[in-house]
Amino acid sequence: MNKKDYDVIIIGGGPSGIFTALELIEKDENLNILLLEKGKNIDDRNCPIGKTVDKCIKCKPCSIVTGWGGAGAFSDGKLTLTTEFGGVLDKYITKERLEELIKYIDTIYVRFGGTEEVHGMDEQKVLEIEKKAASADLKLIKAHIKHLGTDKNYEILKKIQYYLQNKINIEFLTAVEEIIVEDNKAVGVKTNKGDTFYGKYIAAAPGREGSEWFKGESERLGLGLKNNAVDVGVRVEVPAVVMKDITDVVYESKLIYYTDSFDDRVRTFCMNPYGEVVIENNDGIKTVNGHSYADKRTDKTNFALLVSKEFTEPFNSPIAYGKYIASLANMLGEGVLVQRLGDLLDGRRSTHERLERSLLQPSLKDATPGDLSLVLPYRFLQDIVEMLKAMDKVAPGVYSKHTLLYGVEVKFYSSRVDLDGKLETKVENLFAGGDGAGVTRGLAQASAAGVVMAREILNRNES
């Protein structure tokens, strides 16, 4: 083979693409593998905001959402060791197999520097939290969780990149523009640099940033798509002591509530004990997120409250809807808005003066005091308020007038492509996995999806 021909071409250097490459090369070191990533290598991923510029200048590519490690490279680094959330891989493979895969990928994270500590192992204390939650009409999803930390997660990804770049070919700053299909079989890709690469197997793991591109390719190739729900809400910040009895036991509590007013599903997401609220840049649209670190602590805890909305026909643009709501917050506050719960309930905007008098000071200093009722639909705000009331019965102090709400937080879940149990599309030898294919929503299941794709490719390559 020459440099244009490969056994396997992997599209995307996020968790799914990385674990596809790891599984392939460690099981067959003779494979000729090419991984194409539209962003930069891990060492060059730097956002200029706050360093050389004050606001987003729309760098191409954006180092926050593209590059080695994908959009999760700067995440909190949680490994959810459960099949109950973090994706829908259990719709394609059995829960038993998914459990085995999650245990397997966890050993790899440990090998590259991940923690051995697991949260949620004290069954008696977890049961006590579950009982309290049930009495408030909240469902606690029990799970074992590992917290890598934003800082450690980055170091783990760096080690994996250094390991793989000596074993496979990796092309950074190289976006795939088109998947080449002949006689309903994937045979190669065309890139933004004008190159054409050929491969026996194509593993598409484009990540969240590449989801719109992959949606377009799926439509062009007739792969079949289904819209996922869009999650819209706020990030809540409270004193760490308020959540301590819960976070010290389970670290991240996954609570689900169905509201009285609309019967909408609201859930907690990405809880960061002793962490801080941060801005997340999505192609120029600023949304809010949270981090917590392995080696430093604050006196605050933050978590998202998300309202899940699955749209029906004829509406077909849930991602655009979520981005529109986020853009309203950017319009009013030139970025992320912050409001005290008491001000929201009193029908007034928060101001710098009111925040200064508050018992809780925002960890995100760049947030603009404002009024979230001018951004979020009434229905969503009502859902969030009802959820906070319910949570206050489990963690007294959550429903305080000093509780801070940051907005907006939006999770843009990709359209889900039609796949079989091997994660193969309707096009032969074209596999798809990870967040960009709409089947996963986090590190653990995205990594597991990569292993699923790799193992099927290995089986076929041996036959």
Q: What is the pLDDT of residue 132?
A: 96
CA distance 454 to 201: 10
Q: What pLDDT does 295 receive?
A: 80
pLDDT (0 to 100) of residue 280: 80
C-alpha distances out from residue 321 to 266, 334, 409, 410, 453, Å: 18, 19, 13, 10, 32
Please check whether residue 289 is in contact with residue 408, taking contact to mean a CB–CB distance below 8 angstroms.
no
> Cα angle at 448 between 267 and 12, to 5 degrees?
95
Q: Which of 223, 336, 269 is CA-nearest to residue 80?
A: 269
Q: What is the DSSP letter of 209?
A: T
Collapsing DSSP states into helix, strand and coil, what is residue 202? strand
Give residue 2's pLDDT.
Answer: 46
Q: Radius of gyration (Cα) for the chain, nearest Å?
A: 22
pLDDT value for 316: 66
- Confidence at residue 1, expressed as pLDDT on a 0 to 100 scale: 42
Q: Among 363, 374, 225, 346, which Cα is nearest to 298's?
A: 363
3-state helix/strand/coil string of 360-421: CCCCCCCCEECCHHHCCCHHHHHHHHHHHHHHHCCCCCCCCCCCEEEEEEEECCCCEECCCC
pLDDT of residue 230: 80
Counted residue by residue, the chain has a size of 463
Domains present along the chain, CATH in parentheses: 5-119+144-226+416-462 (3.50.50.60), 230-411 (no CATH)
From first to last of the 463 residues of the chain, give the pLDDT tens digit: 446 899 999 999 999 999 999 999 999 999 999 999 999 999 999 888 777 877 767 788 888 789 999 888 887 788 889 888 888 999 999 999 999 999 999 999 999 999 999 999 899 999 999 999 999 999 999 888 998 887 899 999 999 999 999 999 999 999 999 999 999 999 999 999 999 999 999 999 998 888 889 999 999 999 998 877 788 999 999 999 999 999 999 998 899 999 999 999 999 998 999 999 988 877 678 889 898 887 889 999 999 999 988 776 676 677 778 888 989 999 998 889 999 999 999 999 999 999 999 999 999 998 999 999 999 999 999 999 999 999 999 999 999 999 999 999 987 666 899 999 999 999 999 999 998 898 998 899 999 999 999 999 999 988 7
Cβ proximity of 452 and 24 under 8 Å: no
pTM over 0.85: yes
CA distances from 395 to 126, 138, 278, 337 (A): 14, 12, 23, 25
Half-sphere exposure of 359 (CA within 13 A, CB side): 12
Give pLDDT, residue 116.
Answer: 93
How many other CB atoms are found less than 10 A from the CB of residue 260? 13
Of all helices (H) and strands (E), which one includes residue 446?
helix 443-462
